[in-house]
Every structure is written in structure tokens, then in C-alpha cells.
Copies of this chain bind each other. A is one copy, B any other.
């Protein structure tokens, strides 16, 4: 991205958006819980087993995700009441960011030996993620990304 003039106030708001995002999902357990949710693991006991996470930590992270409207509690059993945690629209919208994040980790942290590959269920092809320009219909390299101030 190229440098652009922004006022201090706009810059603060931009900073606060990215910091707010990180405050919500920039925690290792939160990210792992979301990865489980995307894989269809939705019940407290299943998530706990899936991640081998302490109950109090899991309860804390789930309630934060519910408070932030990323997961919603859906009751699936009476007496005792039990709940599943489903991704909301806001939560599902994190998918491209998590995919991009996992691709980067696979490429650069797994030493070229990624344990799993994300594929399209319909055809089994490995997925790609990209930043694209809808007008030019091309993939856009980081050096051609510019930040425009919204006035």
C-alpha cells in the first residue's frame, strides 16, 4: 500500500478498527475455537475434546464470541439445557481471513509440509485466496494496493 495523507482523526479510527478486530479474534484459543466451528464442531464438550482446552478458558472464550455476535447459542436439549455454538453471519464472514491466515502459516511456518489442505467440497481442488480488482478483473499485488480516505 502506498502512503497517503490522512488526518490524525481518520488515522485513529483506522487504527482502532484493526485493533478492535485483533481484540476480538487475535487470541490463540479464540482462533482455534473458530477453526473448530468452521469444521462443524459446535458443542462445549466436543470443542473441549477437540482442542484439549481447560473448561474455564473455553467458557470464557465462548462467552466473548457470543458477546461479540460471532457465535450464537442455540439450545439443542432440555433438562439439562444444553447449547450448541453456531457461527453467525459476522462469524462466517471471517472465513476468508482465516483461510488466508492458514495458507500463510502452511506456506511459511510448516516448512512446505502442510498437514492439511483446504479444498472445494464439490471437486476436491485446493482453494486459492486472492485480492482482486473487480473492474480490471485481475489479481492485485500488494505494491498496487492503495488506501483511500473516505470523507
Determine if A80 is an interface residue (Cβ-Cβ < 8 Å): no
Contact B120 A17 (CB under 8 A): no
Say whether B120 contacts A1, CB under 8 Å.
Answer: no
Q: Which residue of the partner chain, among B20, B97, B116, B130, contacts A10 with CB atoms under 8 Å?
A: B116
Interface residues of A in 121-151 (CB under 8 A from B): 121-136, 140, 142, 144-150
Q: Is A74 an interface residue (CB 8 A)?
A: no
- A interface residues, how many (CB within 8 angstroms): 82
**Least CB distance, A88 to chain B, in whole angstroms:** 10
The CA of A147 and the CA of B103, in the complex, are separated in Å by: 12
Asked if B121 contacts A125 (CB within 8 A), the reply is no
* CB-CB under 8 A for A1 and B96, given A18-B31, A101-B21, A134-B128: no
In the bound assembly, the distance between CA atoms of A35 and B21 in angstroms comes to 14
A15, chain B: closest CB distance, angstroms = 6
A22 vs chain B, min Cβ distance (A): 5
**Chain A 1-38 per-residue mask, 1 if CB under 8 angstroms from chain B, else 0:** 11110100011011101111111101110011001001
